[in-house]
Amino acid sequence: MSLFPGACWTRTLCDSHTFAVQLTMATLQNIGAEVRPHSPFTHQVNICTPQLTTQELARVHAIHAHNGCVPTPLIWMKLRKYLSLIPTSLTHPDTNARFEREIPSRAELQREMDELHEHLSGLGSPIVLCHNDLLVKNVIFNEDIDELKFIDYEYSGYNYQAYDIGNHFNEFAGVSDVDYSLYPSKEFQLGWLHTYLVAYHGFIGRTDGPPSARDVEKLYVQVSKFSLVSNFFWGLWALIQAKFSNIEFDFLGYAIIRLNQYRNTKAAYMALELPA
């Protein structure tokens, strides 16, 4: 969810073990988009052509570190940073009253974050190179050659595979007019995840046969649980924007929506169990 659309940038992404990946517009040539000719990637395209998204996401996820370091997931570091930056109040009296009424305290948010970390860090989701912000506006679709590419790697870095997918599924709901009825059904997700695993296994050279039903169900459970982290993360992000951003957007309302979706789905997703 870039605050600097169209910017030309070079970015270094580091985790707590100083593992770094230099992402530049030049080195992203094989990851990014041929942007002309192109069509906007719409929800309808997303539903009708999932094999395009799965293929490209699997390709990005299969990119390996080559300096011998073992990457660690950036999400927990980012969450700690964002939690430290969320405001305790907002300037406008009406907005502040809404903030105090709708947003949990910092202590409550800290407890939620700790619970997520304890529960999810042991799920065994692979740590891969992730886009981390795969909403439809960050996808370019070339309908002339039936090709899809991702753009805007501002938030990219090593993270849990299941987080990147769960975040993408959350983004089916949109941003300006969020509608969680568009969140994909389990049936759709299982088909999408099977197609993704076929592509991912091919890119990493796995040769022990096609993904099993257990493989797909395991990833479904992981993705469902990590979708909670996605909603929590963007909720905190939006609270910071509500305080500091000059962009004309209801960031507080967006934060409330994302945190409410986190609360509304938490019990069901936390109760899911990995297949035996």
How confident is the model at residue 49, as a pLDDT? 65
Q: pTM above the 0.75 mark?
A: yes
CA 253: distance to chain centroid?
Answer: 20
136, 46 contact by CB (below 8 A): yes
Q: Looking at residue 70, what is its pLDDT?
A: 81
**Overall number of domains in the chain:** 1
Q: Does some domain include residue 23?
A: no
pLDDT attached to residue 26? 35
Taking the chain (276 residues) in runs of 10, the rounded mean pLDDT of each run is 35 34 39 46 56 94 82 96 97 96 97 98 96 92 85 95 98 93 96 97 93 98 98 98 96 98 98 97
Residues 237-260, buried b or exposed e (16+ Cβ, 10 A)? bbbbbbbeeeeeeebbebbbbbbe
Task: Kindly state whether residue 171 falls inside one of the protein's structural domains.
Answer: yes
pLDDT at site 145? 84
Report if residue 11 sits inside a domain. no
Which amino acid appears at position 223 of this protein? V
Judge whether 86 lies within some domain.
Answer: yes
Question: At 198, which CATH number?
Answer: 3.90.1200.10
Contact 182, 40 (CB under 8 A): no
Beta bridge partners of 10: 24
**pLDDT reported for residue 45:** 52
Strand ranges for 121-217 from DSSP E = 127-130, 139-142, 147-150, 157-160
Q: Please check whether residue 162 is in contact with residue 226, taking contact to mean a CB–CB distance below 8 angstroms.
A: yes
Residue 3 lies in a domain: no
pLDDT score for 47: 54
Q: What is the spatial distance between Cα 193 and Cα 139, in angstroms, rounded to a whole number?
A: 18
6 found inside a domain: no
Q: Are 155 and 133 in contact (CB under 8 A)?
A: yes
Q: What is the pLDDT of residue 11?
A: 33
Give the 3-state DSSP-derived string for 6-19, with helices as H, strands as E and coil as C.
CCCCEEEEECCCCC
199: Cβ contacts below 8 Å, ≥ 6 apart: 54, 55, 58, 59
Length in residues, the chain: 276
Hey, CA dihedral for 50, 54, 56, 60, is it positive or negative? Answer: positive
CA R_g for the chain: 19
Range of the domain at 124: 33-270
The answer as to whether 222 is a domain residue is yes
Within-domain flag for 25: no
